[in-house]
Amino acid sequence: MNGLFGPYIEKWMHLITIKNMLLLAVISAIITDFGLHILSLIFSKSPFFKTFIWEII
């Protein structure tokens, strides 16, 4: 695998596991949701929050 990824990436390969990827996905979703909530509080009068795109988000 050293020829495929190179020595630099090989050093970090032990950190790439299903558990770590799932943990990263959950933490990213929480941070994104928190950020969107803060934006909706800051710009509460904006018409963007009444649009169809905001409902999808």
Please, what is the Cα angle at 52 between 35 and 48, to 5 degrees? 55
- Residue-level pLDDT at 42: 85
- Taking the whole predicted model, whether its pTM rises above 0.85 is answered as no
29: domain range? Answer: 2-56
pLDDT digits (tens, 9 = 90+) for 2-57: 566 677 777 778 888 899 899 999 999 999 989 988 888 888 777 777 777 777 76
Q: How many domains does the chain have?
A: 1
- Residue-level pLDDT at 37: 86
